[in-house]
Structure 1
């Protein structure tokens, strides 16, 4: 099975379910805190560059849900600066196996990439399982 580096927001229920699914499929994970990782522009772009800028962002971020930021209106350099300054904006999880990198958790795409042992009937996509009216995930503990 695969050995992946899994960048997550600690305390995020969605990331916890995604990790559990990967581990249940036999994959080994090195889990890293996406919010505390010392990101550089080249390191983050290694994940994001293949995608359109609007897909770099976590749509559940309070700054996006409130309308403060519209990822569809941002150029590449502005978007990258925002993500480096506020990692909560980064779409997650970020996954890496060797030199191959992925952004977000599309179960069908992950299954084709490394296999998920027939667990695709579970709703473990990248969206937050909480409704719009509930409190956000707790902040990560230092």
Structure 2
């Protein structure tokens, strides 16, 4: 059992599935609303250092889906600034566990905390509303 800090967008369908996988593996979750957290570069960098803007930005965010923001055209510093200003742009979840800072549920470092979950059996990373409303366009369930 591990203590996991799970930065989420409350009510996100995949976030709920991801939390259940981690909880079912006997981990204790401390869930934090990623949209209300006071982000700074120092807080965000451990999750994204070494990544390209395209891999660290949430592609279902409204500004990305409507073409206002093009992750492939951003510098690393521009992406960080945008994500701090508008946390909906941060690819989720962000997870802190055993001194690891992990972005995304598909990071292999999460395997020891995912129990018997098998990614080939249940896709918990692709937004189920990708071709209609994005997860970020849905009303937040409280």
* TM bin (shorter chain): 0.7 to 0.9
1:102 maps to 102
Tell me which stretches of 4 or more aligned residues in structure 1 moved more than 4 Å. none
Which residue of structure 2 aligns with residue 43 of structure 1? 43
* Alignment deviations for residues 86-118 of structure 1 (CA, whole Å, 9 cap, x no partner): 10000000000132110011175522xx24222
Query: Aligned pair in 2 of structure 1 residues 21, 122: CA closer, same or farther (>3 Å)?
Result: farther
- Give the secondary-structure state (helix, strand or coil) at the position aligned to 1:69: coil
Q: Is the 8 A contact 2:17 2:124 kept in 1?
A: no
**Corresponding residue number in structure 2 for 1:18:** 18
1:118 corresponding residue in structure 2: 116
Where structure 1 has 5 or more consecutive residues not aligned to the other structure, the ranges are none
Q: Is the partner of 1:5 in helix, strand or coil? A: strand
CA deviations 1:43-84 (Å, max 9, x no partner) are: 101111132222110111111111111111101221111101
TM-score normalised to structure 1 length: 0.88
Question: CA contact under 8 A between 2:22 and 2:115: conserved in structure 1?
Answer: no
Q: Secondary structure at the match of 2:92?
A: coil
User: 86-95 or 99-108, which moves further after superposition?
Assistant: 99-108
For normalisation by structure 2, the TM-score amounts to 0.88
SS of the residue corresponding to residue 95 of structure 1 reads strand
CA contact (8 A) 2:47 2:94 kept: yes
User: Please, what is the CA RMSD of the aligned residues?
Assistant: 1.9
Tell me how far 1:2 sits from its aligned partner.
1.4
Distance 2:45 2:37 in 1: 14
Unaligned 5+ runs, structure 2: none
Q: Is the CA contact 1:3–1:97 (under 8 Å) kept in the aligned structure 2?
A: yes
